[in-house]
Structures are given as structure tokens and as C-alpha cells.
């Protein structure tokens, strides 16, 4: 059954590429593929790829020796540590534009590293298909390592996840077993705080900001324009982007649907950065008053009143439920009778099948697509370690809505994430 799923899904992938006039990109290519961005991927292709990922992993774990599998998983921590090195040393940048690659002696010299040690690290990564060894001791970029070039937002994400957060992750066990911190939901009692001496919010810096853009790239921030029926929303409807950073998500929305108006709300310093960002990326929106910038601290104030839509993107996962309830209650007070709330977050599923949950994986796969969606579950643990917070299931979002005066309407497909829609109750 698993092999049948793999074969049929591979055929679907090939057909999707061929229908667009392309071949499936080679792993050894350094060119951008036609479907590399989530918002360019059709639902059929996305589902086929998820089935392939999940089926291949489940088949491997089914036939391989259990001790072999568990031992390999135990040593997976070496990979993010290696990523941290190659990102900091800009190895992908040095190899960019060199399809024949560089000998490890030359590459290490340019990077300022020991050639023996760097070669071993790159060989491990190449064994996992990131970089390629084109000749003995000669390494080159490939389709995966190109995402580690420093100008790519995904490199910021990978650097953050292999740097600051891995230091927090190794403190998880002692933090959870400590009776003083194990049951706390304060960011000051998180593994991140134990590792770095400050909360992640005080640690916030340029690379973290780039990492958030990178997180948006891989989880589909550009999916927002196509994840909701914006074409049916009346002209001059106002979308209030709360905690939206520089507003890169709603900037893409108003570019595609210029009949909308955006209000970007975040802390004062962040909003100023947003104004500068929009002035570069979409000056017409500012000139034509399609965007406004309003500072807010959503724990000590309320969003702009009577907006048509209130939009939260990857905000609630930063906070424990008690704080999320305060954020949602503040939004509820600002809403008009016909206002709607859109929560754009990862939406976790239980591993076991649940008839009430739509779009579950075909049997015999795990209902949540298993390894194809493991990033969401890794991110849940990352939020535990970083902020003492969490990703949530649909029911957990619904429960928070019910407690703050909202009625659940619909879960919209937003690629890897979901768009949870509420009205006032």
C-alpha cells in the first residue's frame, strides 16, 4: 500500500511539472525551480509531495532495524550544528557561481577553516543531500545548499534554528524537570532563558528578524492572497495587521488586491521599520493612503476600532494561553458587528484519525501526514523551548475563541499553515 502511494504520487508530481512545461528539477541544480515557493505550488502537487515524504519515511521506518533508526535519530543533532558552521562561514556564498566546485583546500582557505574538519562536515551534509561532492574533496552547491546563501531569508531561519534555539533545546530536559520552572508558562522560565539569561523577546535582533521572514517563506506567507476570498471583500475594506512586524505579509495582499486598505500595528520601533520597508517595497500604497501605521502594545491597548478584518499571523504561538486570551479579548473589544478575525498559524493535528478533522492523509499513513509535516511539530517544541508557548490544534483555537467572545466560522487552507476565521458571537 505504501509503495502504491509512492508510485502514484510520483506520477502526479511528474505530470504537474510536465503540464507547466518543466522537468522535475535535479537535486544537483542550483537554479530556482518553478514551484519552489509554496504559493506557486498547486494543491495537487503539494498533496503529492506530502504523500511521498510521509510514505517514504514510514516505509523506511517499517523495514529498517529499530535500533538503527533510533540511533540515527539520536545523532541528528550533528546536522543543525553543521548548518550553524557553514552558514556562519558563508560556505554557500563562497561556492555560489562555481558549478565545478572548489577543492576543500581552497574552500577552507577562503573560509578561514581547517580543511580536514570542514571537509568532513561538508561530506556529512552532502550525504544528506545538502551540498554535493563532485569529485573527491571537491564540493559544490546544489538545490538545497543554495538556500543557505546569506541573502536568502531561509538562511536566516536556518541560522537561528541551528544557533540560538539549539542552545535552548539542550536545556529543555532540566528546565521541564525542575519543579520551579517545569510547570510555569512564563518566558522567563523557558529553556531559552536558562540557556541565554534573557527571554527571546529581549534577545530579538537583526538575524531573528530575517529568520521570521525566512519562516514566512517556508510556511507560505505569500499564500495569504490566495487563501481567502479577498476578491469578494468590498472595496475599501480595512485589514488590521496586528503584530505584523514590517507588514511583509499584508504588503503582498494589498499588491494583489489594491481595493483593500491595511493598518499595520506593532510596537512603535517596529512600525517605523515597517513604514521604511513599505516606502521601498510599495511606495504607491503610502502615497495613495492604502496603508497606515499605528503603534500598539496589545497588552496595554486595543487595536484600531471598527476594522473589517483583524489579522494575526504567527503571533499567538509566541504566547501561553493566558496571554493569548488577553490579546483576543482586546481585539474583540475593538471589533464591530460585522468584523472578522483571521488567525494565520500552524494548525496541528493529532496523529490518530479523527472523523471531525478534514484533509487527513490517506491510509495507511499517519493521519497528520507524519514526516511530511514534522516541521510543525518540531516548531511546537521550539516554541516551548524559546517562549514557553506552543503551536495549537484547531480545537485549541476554537476554545480560546469561545472564551473571548468569538464564533468559529471556517478553517481555510493556507499551505503549510491554516487561516482560522472567527466572527463575534
C-alpha of 161 from chain center: 11
The answer to whether 317 is a known catalytic residue is yes
Residue 15 sits at the vertex; the CA angle it makes with 10 and 17, to the nearest 5 degrees, is 100
Please name the residue that has the C-alpha cell 530579538. 204
DSSP characters over 236-248: T-EEEEET-TT-H
Peptide bond into 338 cis (omega under 30): no
> Helices in 112-236 by DSSP H: which ranges?
115-127, 153-162, 164-169, 172-177, 191-196, 200-203, 206-219
Please state whether 108 falls in left (phi above 0), alpha (psi between -120 and 50) or beta.
alpha
Catalytic residue among 193, 282, 314, 317: 317
Q: CA of 327: how far to CAs of 123, 265, 317, 323, 330, in Å?
A: 47, 13, 12, 6, 5
Judge contact between 204 and 273, C-beta under 8 A.
no
In angstroms, rounded to a whole number, what is the distance separating the alpha carbons of residues 343 and 14? 34
Indicate which residues carry an active-site annotation.
317
Amino acid at each position: 500500500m505504501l509503495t502504491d502511494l509512492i508510485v502514484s504520487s510520483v506520477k502526479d508530481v511528474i505530470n504537474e511539472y510536465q503540464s507547466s512545461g518543466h522537468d522535475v528539477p535535479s537535486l544537483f541544480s542550483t537554479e530556482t525551480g518553478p514551484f519552489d515557493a509554496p504559493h506557486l505550488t498547486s494543491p495537487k502537487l503539494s498533496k503529492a509531495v506530502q504523500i511521498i515524504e510521509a510514505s517514504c519515511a514510514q516505509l523506511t521506518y517499517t523495514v529498517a532495524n529499530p535500533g538503527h533508526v533510533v540511533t540515527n535519530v539520536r545523532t541528528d543533532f550533528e546536522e543543525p550544528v553543521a548548518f550553524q558552521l557553514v552558514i556562519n562561514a558563508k560556505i554557500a556564498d563562497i561556492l555560489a557561481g562555481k558549478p565545478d566546485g572548489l577543492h576543500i583546500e581552497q574552500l577552507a582557505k577562503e573560509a578561514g577553516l581547517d580543511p580536514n574538519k570542514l571537509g568532513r562536515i561538508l561530506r556529512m551534509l552532502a550525504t544528506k543531500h545538502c551540498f554535493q561532492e563532485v569529485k573527491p574533496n571537491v564540493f559544490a552547491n546544489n538545490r538545497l545548499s543554495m538556500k543557505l546563501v546569506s541573502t536568502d531569508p531561509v538562511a536566516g531561519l536556518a541560522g537561528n534554528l541551528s544557533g540560538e534555539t539549539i542552545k535552548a533545546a539542550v536545556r529543555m530536559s532540566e528546565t521541564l524537570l525542575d519543579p520551579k520552572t517545569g510547570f510555569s508558562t512564563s518566558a522567563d522560565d523557558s529553556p531559552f532563558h536558562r540557556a541565554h539569561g534573557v527571554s527571546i523577546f529581549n534577545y530579538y535582533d537583526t538575524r531573528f528578524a530575517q529568520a521570521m521572514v525566512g519562516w514566512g517563506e517556508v510556511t507560505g506567507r505569500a499564500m495569504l492572497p490566495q487563501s481567502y476570498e479577498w476578491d469578494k471583500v468590498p472595496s475599501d475594506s480595512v485589514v488590521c495587521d496586528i503584530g505584523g512586524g514590517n507588514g511583509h505579509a499584508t504588503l503582498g495582499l494589498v499588491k494583489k488586491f489594491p481595493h483593500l486598505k491595511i493598518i499595520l500595528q506593532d510596537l512603535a520601533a517596529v512600525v517605523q521599520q515597517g513604514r521604511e520597508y513599505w516606502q521601498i517595497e510599495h511606495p504607491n500604497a503610502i502615497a495613495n493612503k492604502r496603508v497606515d501605521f499605528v503603534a500598539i502594545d496589545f497588552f496595554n491597548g486595543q487595536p484600531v476600532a471598527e476594522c473589517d478584518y483583524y489579522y494575526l499571523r504567527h503571533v499567538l504561538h509566541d504566547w501561553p494561553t493566558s496571554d493569548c486570551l488577553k490579546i483576543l479579548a482586546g481585539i474583540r473589544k475593538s471589533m464591530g458587528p460585522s468584523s472578522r478575525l483571521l488567525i494565520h498559524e500552524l494548525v496541528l493535528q493529532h496523529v490518530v484519525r479523527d472523523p471531525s478533522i478534514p484533509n487527513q492523509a490517506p491510509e495507511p499513513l499517519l493521519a497528520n501526514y507524519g514526516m511530511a509535516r514534522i516541521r510543525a511539530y518540531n516548531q511546537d517544541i521550539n516554541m516551548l523551548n524559546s517562549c514557553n508557548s506552543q503551536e495549537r490544534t484547531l480545537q485549541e483555537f476554537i476554545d480560546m475563541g469561545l472564551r473571548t467572545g468569538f464564533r468559529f466560522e471556517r478553517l481555510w487552507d493556507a499551505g503549510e499553515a491554516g487561516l482560522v476565521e472567527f466572527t463575534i458571537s
